[in-house]
Amino acid sequence: MRPKTFAISNGVNEKGFTFIEIMAVVVIISILVAFVAPRLIGRTEDAKRQAARADIEANLALALDLYALDNGGYPTTEQGLAALRAKPATPPIPENWKGPYLKKGLPKDPWGRPYLYRYPGELNKEDYDLYSYGTDGVEGGEDDIVNWEVENP
């Protein structure tokens, strides 16, 4: 008995694939996905952490430094990062505000939450605290991205 084949017929006697051949291809693809998928899944979270670190150490830090150069200090905790987009209305009102210091709206961390800011810094005694709570959105833990600690590669 000849195995059943699957083919689109156009009137010409054509041979198709057997069910066993189709199943072999499905199994091979499944094995490849099983090896590749775990590597890709871990990369997504690493990329988000690196994006948050770039925002904290470069993008927002540069905007805050420009604000401080123009106004003689960083925005207060009450003024927050919003002071980088619009002149603060709460004291101390900056006299030399030349913003906006960020071209687009206030960035959110890669998990969709606002970055957190505090000045004067409690943990970064030199200037301000700028941080994200990372994946879980909860303070503490290894997933927090902060400007007062150096991350080990």
Q: What is the pLDDT of residues 33-42, one digit of tens each?
A: 887 777 766 6
Q: Is 117 exposed, middle or buried (0-12, 13-18, 19+ CB in 10 A)?
A: buried
- Asked whether residue 100 is domain-assigned, the answer is yes
Q: What letters, b where the CB count within 10 A reaches 16 and e where it falls short, cover 43-76? A: eeeeebbebbeebbeeebbebbeebbeebeebbb
- Asked whether residue 116 is domain-assigned, the answer is yes
Can you give the CATH number for the domain in which 113 is found?
3.30.700.10
Strands 129-132 and 116-118: antiparallel
- Asked whether residue 17 is domain-assigned, the answer is no
Q: What is the pTM of this model?
A: 0.71
- Asked whether residue 108 is domain-assigned, the answer is yes
pLDDT digits (tens, 9 = 90+) for 109-144: 999 999 999 999 999 888 999 999 998 888 888 889
Please count the CA atoms within 13 angstroms of the CA of 141 that sit on its side-chain side. Answer: 10
- Asked whether residue 74 is domain-assigned, the answer is yes
pLDDT, position 91:
94
- Asked whether residue 23 is domain-assigned, the answer is no
The answer to which of 37-46, 51-60, 96-105, 141-150 has the lowest mean pLDDT is 37-46
- Asked whether residue 111 is domain-assigned, the answer is yes
Tell me the residue range of the domain where 87 lies. Answer: 51-146
Rounded CA-CA distance 119/128 in Å is 5
Rounded CA-CA distance 66/102 in Å is 10
Domain total of the chain: 1
For residues 2-15, give the mean pLDDT.
Answer: 57
- Asked whether residue 21 is domain-assigned, the answer is no
